[in-house]
Amino acid sequence: MVSTSTRYHIITTNMTRTKALIEQDPVVKRETDYYNATIKKIKTVDEFIKNDRVFKFAMKAYGLEDMAYGKALIKKLLKEGVTSPQSMANKMSNPLYKEFAKAFDFAGKGAAATSAASATTGAVQRYIQQTLEQQEGKDNQGVQLALYFKRKASSVTTTMGILADKALLKFVQTTFGIPEAASRADLDFQVRNLEKFLNVKDLQDPKKVDKLIQRFNAMWDMNNATSATMSPVLSLFNQSTEQGMSIDLMMSIAKLRLGGS
């Protein structure tokens, strides 16, 4: 099995080509073509919800695929919009709902909502990215998390933004060796604990984000080591894979620690 660092590098070195391959997939192309041909014809929330293919495409594009069954909830979300502080979108802890309501802003734009970039080209680009991440996740969840973090990092402005996103939290916990059990602690404690390891302002710096991803990739491979990912050097000495850390991983992590996060 290719290491998380290696696979991530292969994908991101030429992201344009990587996405082009996804776009050429017959299923992806069929759904994308249908969406492009249909979305602008939809003028109301009810029409949007009723068209199952368009609705599921949009939900997947904005990271809400698992909630595609909750049409009543999404209908209420879209009809209330995001203007009022009391709207559902502004009350939900998961920021993806608000992002979705802003992207398909029927409440604010009416029939023109489906002509906005966020509902057309933006949605298609996000769908391709989501598909890429999901496909990579089938072979290595670490690669999926690294790609997700790269995409979302700059949008996070508070520590609560990390705690509200399970995937981001998993990334940070893995990167700094924070036990998952820490998530059961008092919320204020969780915030203070995360801030000991990470300054969210660093997420606005692409170089620091890449450094965090390097460290995450090394930690992920260390925590999920198998005989396929172990260093050939160790196999020469007949080391048990249960030891969980190859020499190259130890060297990588040591360098990252010395360099800071």
Judging by beta carbons within 10 Å of its beta carbon (0-12, 13-18, 19+), is residue 164 exposed, middle or buried?
middle
Task: Report yes or no on 70 lying in a domain.
Answer: yes
Do residues 145 and 119 share a domain? no
pLDDT at 186 over 50: yes
Q: Please tell me the predicted confidence (pLDDT) of residue 223.
A: 92
Do residues 55 and 153 share a domain? no
Q: Please tell me the predicted confidence (pLDDT) of residue 164.
A: 87
User: Which residues, at least 6 apart from 28, have a Cβ–Cβ distance to it below 8 Å?
Assistant: 22, 127, 128, 131
CATH number at residue 238: 1.10.3700.10
Both tokens of 204, joined, read: 């606005």
217-252: per-residue pLDDT in tens?
999 999 987 544 444 433 333 333 333 344 444 444
In whole angstroms, what is the distance from residue 101 CA to residue 155 CA?
16
Do residues 101 and 205 share a domain? no
Do residues 96 and 9 share a domain? yes
- The label of the residue with tokens 């010395």 reads 258
Q: Please tell me the predicted confidence (pLDDT) of residue 226.
A: 57
Indicate yes or no: pTM above 0.85: no
Do residues 149 and 192 share a domain? yes
Lowest mean pLDDT among 33-47, 97-111, 234-248: 234-248
Task: Report yes or no on 136 lying in a domain.
Answer: no
Do residues 102 and 188 share a domain? no
Q: Please tell me the predicted confidence (pLDDT) of residue 95.
A: 85
Task: Report yes or no on 135 lying in a domain.
Answer: no
Number of domains in the chain: 2
Find the domain containing 117 and state its range.
4-123
pLDDT interval class at 93 (50, 70, 90): confident
Which of the two residues, 165 and 1, has the higher pLDDT score?
165
Of 81, 83, 119, 87, nearest in space to 103 by CA: 119
- Among 72, 90, 123, identify where a domain stops: 123
Judging by beta carbons within 10 Å of its beta carbon (0-12, 13-18, 19+), is residue 150 exposed, middle or buried?
buried
Do residues 202 and 172 share a domain? yes
Q: Please tell me the predicted confidence (pLDDT) of residue 18.
A: 93
